[in-house]
A = this chain, B = another copy of it.
Amino acid sequence: MTYKLYYFNIRGLAEPIRYLLKYGKIDFEDVRVEREDWPKLKETMPMKQMPVLEIDGKRVYQSVSIARFLGKKVGLAGSNDLENLEIDSAVDTFVDLRLKVTAVMTTPEDKKAEAMKTLKEETVPFFLSKLNALAEENNGHLACKKLTWADLYFAALTGIVKFGAIEGEDIWEKYPALRKVVDNVEAIDAIKTWINERPVTDF
């Protein structure tokens, strides 16, 4: 199979996909679309958005769906249906937080300060304490007491977590089990190598 990943030149929603491909030592073309080329390319994308993964010429979309597919492929899915449910519900819980964070990023200026306050004082502590509890129960993993694609999904998107931190706060200090999830992922050779060699971008 040949893989071609289309996304902007940022980590963003493509980074979990890149982590999974790197983890599985799967060769892929990491296409990074420049902003000025996007309007034209957009018309060729199934849902007019990215990330899109081209698998043997077929373009598939939806970042979580792609991550689940690759997770299975590289041996990071659950070993039965209940384990997969555990993985999926942990990821969906993190996605709920992700969506709340991005909603604040795009809130109109006149409501932004208020939205940011609710996010940092209520939303983020609620979700991170729940996810931290999961990570405690699962010994430094988000599900199934072992490394799964949920861990890679989370670790690739720590920017979401950091955005929700209160100024000057070390968010990992408050949620040490979640830091362990990230540390476990970043200790994997293929991921460590990727972090060192990937393009340096803001997000």
Contact = CB atoms under 8 A, between A and B. Distances in A.
Interface of A: 46-48, 55, 60-62, 64-66, 68-69, 72-73, 81-82, 84-86, 88-89, 92-93, 99, 103, 108, 111, 126, 130
Contacts of A69: 81-82, 84-85, 88
Contacts of A48: 126
Question: Chain A: interface secondary structure?
Answer: helix
Nearest to A65: B88
Nearest to A55: B82
A61 B47 contact: no
Q: How many copies of this protein are present in the complex?
A: 2
B65 A73 contact: no
A47 to B, nearest CB: 6
Contacts of A85: 60, 65-66, 68-69
A181 to B, nearest CB: 18
B99 A62 contact: no
Contacts of A66: 85, 89
5 contacts: A47-B130, A69-B85, A72-B81, A73-B81, A108-B111
A66 B55 CA distance: 27
